[in-house]
Amino acid sequence: MELLEVKGLKKYFPVKGGFLSKTVNYVKAVDGVSFNVKQGKTLGLVGESGCGKSTTGRTILRLYEPTEGAIYFEGIDIVTLDKEKLRAKRKDMQIIFQDPYASLNPRLTAGEIIGRAIDIHNIARGKERQRRILQLLDVVGLKREHYNRYPNEFSGGQRQRIGIARALAVNPKLIVCDEPISALDVSIQAQIINLLKDIQEQFHLTYVFIAHNLAVVKHISDDVAVMYLGKIVEMAEKDELFLRPQHPYTAALLSAIPIPDPSKKHSRIRLEGDVPSPINLPPGCRFATRCPERTSICDEVEPDLIDIGGHMVACHHRR
């Protein structure tokens, strides 16, 4: 069953300028993205910084108002929901942030951070609330004596655990993980990834996992979508994508994964050229400026994301 269906999602940020700060242009952060995520599965969303993957994640939750498109969550288009209905729906969709330092209110204790999340949807009160907080601390691998501590007394990994507990507090069905481990030490990253996997199983969660570390995405995802400049250029089942990357961009990304074996020869595809500005996009393929396989059609026609047999790819040369 599809838990989440995103159709033609666009998010443009206005660029203000000139007299009376008129909108002079738009940053097309997300420019027509469509994908589905099945109940209990994980979609990995990868791409370089600035490609719009975080914006996509936040727009799905309507933390940013989408410019265009539809987001079906359990069959209901949440773009059309009014404020009150959306508020109720938010219980089902949560987010874990990249920066564990900025994402916790420094004035609240760990227990209160989780408790406030419980309060917002009136999930539990009094003793029951307390029990639930302690239980959540336990689930994410923190101890009960951490209840009274403030965020500044925790390490990055522990803070991220609090962030996860806060997201879990409202019994969500979907969690958008917005680069949850990229701000952590390498030694902690594995712990958090494994924690995320464990709770996914325990609570039947569905993830949209945003990352730029391909090894991590490979570990946790079922399907992977590769984004470039606000569009998905390739999307496939994880093993298929990693074994047979179709899009030249994906191939370049995969070749950048270090191989932990010094005797193996590393043939890395180096991309030349610059990323075009998301304000002023080229008319043809967005990747054309850097593509090693560029031909004349690439500069003129924008390729659509087409299914070529269990593998979606947006490239004129993979048809």
Partner 1 sequence: MEAKSIEDVRELATEDIMSPWKLAWRRLKKNKLAMLGLYILAIMVLLSVVGPLVSPYTMEQMDLSNIQSPPSLAHPMGTDEVGRDVMTRLFYAGRISLSVGLFAVVISVVIGSVLGGIAGYYGGFIDSLIMRIVDIFMSFPFLPLLITIAAVMSDWKVPPQYRMFVVMILIGILSWPGLARIVRGQILSLREQEFMQAAEALGIRDRRKIFRHLLPNTYASIIVSATLDLGSAILTESSLSFLGLGVTPPTPSWGQMVQVARDLYTLQMQPWLWIPPGICIFLTVMAINLFGDGLRDALDPRLKR
Which positions lie near partner 1, rule CB under 8 A? 58, 61, 63, 86-91, 93-95, 97, 99, 102-109, 111-112, 116-117, 120-121, 127, 130-131, 134-135, 138-139, 144, 147-148, 150-153, 163, 166, 168, 170-171, 202-203
Residue 52 vs 163, nearer CB to partner 1: 163
- In the complex, least distance from residue 62 CB atom to partner 1, rounded to whole angstroms: 9
Residue 93 vs 229, nearer CB to partner 1: 93
Residue 88 vs 256, nearer CB to partner 1: 88
- In the complex, least distance from residue 189 CB atom to partner 1, rounded to whole angstroms: 19
Starting at the earlier edge strand, list the strands of the sheet with 2-17.
22-38, 2-17, 68-73, 76-77
- In the complex, least distance from residue 159 CB atom to partner 1, rounded to whole angstroms: 11
If one counts every other C-beta atom within 10 angstroms of the C-beta of residue 319, the result is 8
Residue 149 vs 317, nearer CB to partner 1: 149
Residue 163 vs 303, nearer CB to partner 1: 163
- In the complex, least distance from residue 57 CB atom to partner 1, rounded to whole angstroms: 11
Residue 97 vs 287, nearer CB to partner 1: 97
- In the complex, least distance from residue 21 CB atom to partner 1, rounded to whole angstroms: 11
Residue 65 vs 261, nearer CB to partner 1: 65
Secondary structure (DSSP) of the chain: -EEEEEEEEEEEEEEEETGGGEEEEEEEEEEEEEEEEETT-EEEEE--TTSSHHHHHHHHTTSS--SEEEEEETTEEGGG--HHHHHHHGGGEEEE-S-TTTSS-TTS-HHHHHHHHHHHTT---HHHHHHHHHHHHHHTT--GGGTT--GGGS-HHHHHHHHHHHHHTT--SEEEEESTTTTS-HHHHHHHHHHHHHHHHHHT-EEEEEES-HHHHHHH-SEEEEEETTEEEEEEEHHHHHHS--SHHHHHHHHTSPPS-TTS---PPPPPS-PPPSSS--SS-TTGGG-TT--HHHHHSPPP-EESSSEEE--TT--
Question: Taking a C-beta distance cutoff of 8 angstroms, is the pair 154, 146 a contact?
Answer: yes
- In the complex, least distance from residue 219 CB atom to partner 1, rounded to whole angstroms: 23
CA distance 71 to 264: 44
- In the complex, least distance from residue 23 CB atom to partner 1, rounded to whole angstroms: 14
Residue 157 vs 163, nearer CB to partner 1: 163
- Phi, psi at residue 69, to the nearest 5°? 105, 175
- In the complex, least distance from residue 154 CB atom to partner 1, rounded to whole angstroms: 11
